[in-house]
């Protein structure tokens, strides 16, 4: 763990505040197609599958770029990489306004997608400023920059009405460029890179940065993030289209309702970080998956009408969620997903303090790929089934598989490390000593037999 000697609370809050603001702006840019894409879909006459691909393409770049942006941030520092990434993205967003064909839109969307890579840059930069005991909360606050999706859902529809989608893209490009300049002027070099400059030590090699990726534990974290983040991005982009199509709402109203999902899915990430610090990330992940299963089951049920033959004649039943109930369910889903996002990233700076960029980059990349593949899958399901709730059925199945896999992996890990826990049903997040059955004796247990933090 890098030394924080000489780092003041003011330095920590400056780094956290600037990173969170920059990430919020980047995330707003990253999800812009959820709004302007609806207009583009109408202009070009796109199918749902084509629209899903358009919305998902920026997520592809934002996902894949995280692995090398994370490594570069570890090598050169967030104060350099954050502004550079934002300026390049701002140019891509501005050039988007000169595009008029679908294939070129996809190419432009690839450049715009670099905005999503800002997440791992911010994680690697912010984690360097805080003690291990406070990193979960700090990264949770930083991750609340996901609220940028809500900013887009709330504000972009009105900008589109006033300025058109081209004018909206130009506004986003200018704001992003200004943010890049301000970050470079106001931010400081993180403690570890400052120490390297003083000592003359060179950057860590790429091979050393990628070494932890051999650990299956890292890939397990990435799988969780595929849902809590990937599905969050996918739904933030898909819900405006869903509200317009399934409920016949105006785009502005659909954007506001989608924003109600994105808002708790972002701002409560800080709460998730605090909960992970206090009660353990594993407990938070169980809470996230169980609640998500219940909510997605209800959201998956399509509008249904059926008739049974009663004693005195046919009896008709109708089932369907009103728009108000559906919005409430999305708010609940967004809330627990925000907790899960923080829980996943709680572990990385603790277990891999010198590889936050590479490990966090891989986890973020896999999560981001969820945001790429899921919108495409949503569009294909709509085209193939003609059922509006089919995307939520897919998410329900994915969460069910992840929940079972996580639980089985945890139990196997505990049995392997502590045979006395074979029949123990209480799952401790970071047990200091093995939890044996009441009749089992722990006398004489060696120090080597004591548990180390798991996950």
Asked which of 144-158, 254-268, 435-449 is least confident by mean pLDDT, the reply is 435-449
Q: Is the dihedral of CA 309, 311, 313, 318 positive or negative?
A: negative
Q: Is the dihedral of CA 125, 126, 131, 135 positive or negative?
A: negative
* pLDDT exceeds cutoff 60 at 434: no
* pLDDT exceeds cutoff 50 at 437: no
**Which residue, chain included where needed, has tokens 């003359």?**
200
Strands (E), 290-399: 304-309, 314-319
Instruction: Tell me how far apart the alpha carbons of residues 83 and 179 are, in angstroms, rounded to a whole number.
Output: 8
Q: DSSP letter at 305?
A: E
Instruction: Tell me how far apart the alpha carbons of residues 89 and 29 are, in angstroms, rounded to a whole number.
Output: 9
More confident residue, 296 or 78: 296
Instruction: Tell me how far apart the alpha carbons of residues 20 and 129 are, in angstroms, rounded to a whole number.
Output: 14
Question: Residue 231: which H helix or E strand, with range?
Answer: none
Q: What confidence score (pLDDT) does residue 238 get?
A: 87
What fold does the segment set 9-304+318-428 form as a domain? Growth Hormone; Chain: A; (1.20.1250)
Instruction: Tell me how far apart the alpha carbons of residues 118 and 82 are, in angstroms, rounded to a whole number.
Output: 7
CA-only gyration radius of the chain, Å: 23
Q: What confidence score (pLDDT) does residue 203 get?
A: 60
- Of 175, 172, 183, 173, residue with least CA distance to 125: 183
Burial status of residue 355 (CB atoms within 10 A of its CB: 0-12, 13-18, 19 or more): buried
Instruction: Tell me how far apart the alpha carbons of residues 105 and 36 are, in angstroms, rounded to a whole number.
Output: 12
Over residues 135-140, the mean pLDDT reads: 79
Q: What confidence score (pLDDT) does residue 405 get?
A: 83
| pTM for this model (two decimals) | 0.65
Q: What confidence score (pLDDT) does residue 205 get?
A: 58
Confidence category of residue 131, pLDDT binned at 50, 70, 90: confident
Q: What confidence score (pLDDT) does residue 90 get?
A: 93
More confident residue, 150 or 84: 84
Over residues 144-152, the mean pLDDT reads: 81
| Domains of the chain, residue spans | 9-304+318-428
Give one DSSP letter per residue of 362-410, joined into a string: HHHHHHHHHHHHHHHHHHHHHHHH--TTHHHHHHHHHHHHHHHHHHHHH
Asked which of 274-278, 435-439, 442-446 is least confident by mean pLDDT, the reply is 442-446
User: Between the CA of residue 6 and those of 80, 137, 200, 202, 354, what are the distances in Å?
Assistant: 22, 21, 19, 22, 20
Q: What confidence score (pLDDT) does residue 444 get?
A: 41
* pLDDT exceeds cutoff 80 at 22: yes
* pLDDT exceeds cutoff 60 at 144: yes
Q: What confidence score (pLDDT) does residue 360 get?
A: 73
**pLDDT, tens digit, for every residue of 204-243?**
655 666 666 667 777 777 888 899 988 988 898 789 888 9
Q: What confidence score (pLDDT) does residue 83 get?
A: 93
Q: What confidence score (pLDDT) does residue 446 get?
A: 39
- Of 342, 302, 295, 300, residue with least CA distance to 320: 302
Question: Residue 387: which H helix or E strand, with range?
Answer: none
Strands (E), 297-416: 304-309, 314-319
429 within 8 A of 283, measured Cβ to Cβ:
yes
Asked which of 25-39, 288-302, 303-317, 429-443 is least confident by mean pLDDT, the reply is 429-443
User: Between the CA of residue 445 and those of 316, 335, 414, what are the distances in Å?
Assistant: 67, 42, 16
Does residue 307 sit in helix, strand or coil? strand
More confident residue, 363 or 425: 363
Q: What confidence score (pLDDT) does residue 204 get?
A: 60
Instruction: Tell me how far apart the alpha carbons of residues 420 and 414 are, in angstroms, rounded to a whole number.
Output: 9
**pLDDT, tens digit, for every residue of 49-97?**
788 788 778 878 888 888 788 888 878 888 899 999 999 999 988 888 8
Asked which of 112-126, 279-293, 358-372 is least confident by mean pLDDT, the reply is 358-372
Percent of the chain, pLDDT > 70? Answer: 84
Q: What confidence score (pLDDT) does residue 290 get?
A: 94
Q: What confidence score (pLDDT) does residue 267 get?
A: 72
Q: What confidence score (pLDDT) does residue 213 get?
A: 66
Q: What is the mean pLDDT of the chain?
A: 80
Q: Would you state the structure tokens that stand for residue 288, as one six-digit string?
A: 């996230």
Q: Is the dihedral of CA 435, 437, 438, 443 positive or negative?
A: negative
Determine the straight-line distance between the first and last CA of the chain, rounded to whole angstroms: 19
Instruction: Tell me how far apart the alpha carbons of residues 338 and 333 are, in angstroms, rounded to a whole number.
Output: 9
User: Between the CA of residue 4 and those of 83, 124, 128, 205, 413, what are the distances in Å?
Assistant: 24, 15, 8, 23, 33
């Amino acid at each position: 763990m890098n030394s924080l000697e000489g780092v003041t609370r003011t330095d920590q809050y400056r780094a956290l505040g600037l990173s969170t603001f920059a990430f919020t702006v980047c995330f707003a840019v990253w999800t812009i197609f959820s709004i302007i894409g609806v207009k583009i879909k109408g202009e070009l006459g796109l199918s749902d599958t084509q629209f899903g691909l358009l919305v998902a393409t920026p997520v592809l770049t934002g996902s894949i770029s995280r692995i090398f942006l994370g490594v570069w941030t570890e090598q050169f520092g967030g104060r350099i990489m954050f502004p550079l990434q934002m300026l390049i993205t701002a140019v891509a967003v501005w050039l988007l306004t000169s595009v008029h064909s679908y294939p070129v839109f996809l190419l432009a969307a690839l450049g715009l997608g670099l905005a999503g890579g800002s997440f791992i840059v911010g994680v690697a930069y912010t984690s360097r400023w805080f003690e291990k005991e406070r990193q979960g909360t700090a990264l949770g606050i930083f991750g609340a920059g996901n609220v940028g999706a809500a900013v887009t859902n709330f504000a972009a529809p009105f900008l589109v009405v006033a300025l058109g989608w081209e004018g909206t893209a130009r506004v986003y490009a200018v704001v992003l460029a200004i943010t890049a300049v301000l970050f470079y002027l106001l931010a400081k070099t993180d403690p570890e890179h400052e120490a390297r400059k003083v000592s003359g030590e060179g950057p860590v090699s790429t091979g050393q940065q990628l070494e932890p990726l051999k650990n299956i534990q890292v890939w397990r974290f990435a799988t969780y993030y595929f849902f809590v983040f990937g599905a969050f991005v996918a739904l933030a982009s898909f819900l405006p289209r869903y509200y317009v199509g399934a409920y016949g709402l105006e785009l502005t109203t659909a954007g506001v309702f989608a924003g109600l999902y994105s808002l708790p899915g972002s701002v409560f990430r800080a709460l998730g970080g605090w909960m992970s610090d206090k009660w353990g990330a594993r407990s938070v992940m169980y809470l996230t998956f169980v609640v998500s299963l219940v909510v997605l089951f209800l959201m998956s049920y399509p509008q249904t009408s059926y008739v049974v033959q009663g004693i005195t004649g046919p009896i008709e039943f109708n089932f369907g969620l009103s728009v108000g109930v559906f919005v409430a369910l999305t708010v609940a889903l967004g809330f627990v997903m925000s907790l899960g996002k923080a829980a996943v990233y709680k572990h990385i700076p603790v277990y891999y303090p010198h590889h936050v960029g590479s490990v966090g980059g891989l986890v973020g990349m896999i999560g981001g790929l969820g945001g790429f593949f899921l919108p495409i899958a949503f569009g294909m399901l709509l085209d193939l089934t003609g059922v509006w709730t089919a995307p939520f059925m897919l998410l329900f199945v994915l969460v069910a598989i992840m929940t079972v896999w996580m639980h089985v992996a945890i139990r196997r890990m505990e049995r392997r490390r502590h045979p006395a826990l074979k029949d123990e049903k209480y799952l401790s997040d970071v047990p200091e000593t093995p939890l044996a059955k009441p009749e089992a004796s722990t006398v004489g247990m060696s120090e080597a037999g004591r548990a180390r933090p798991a996950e």
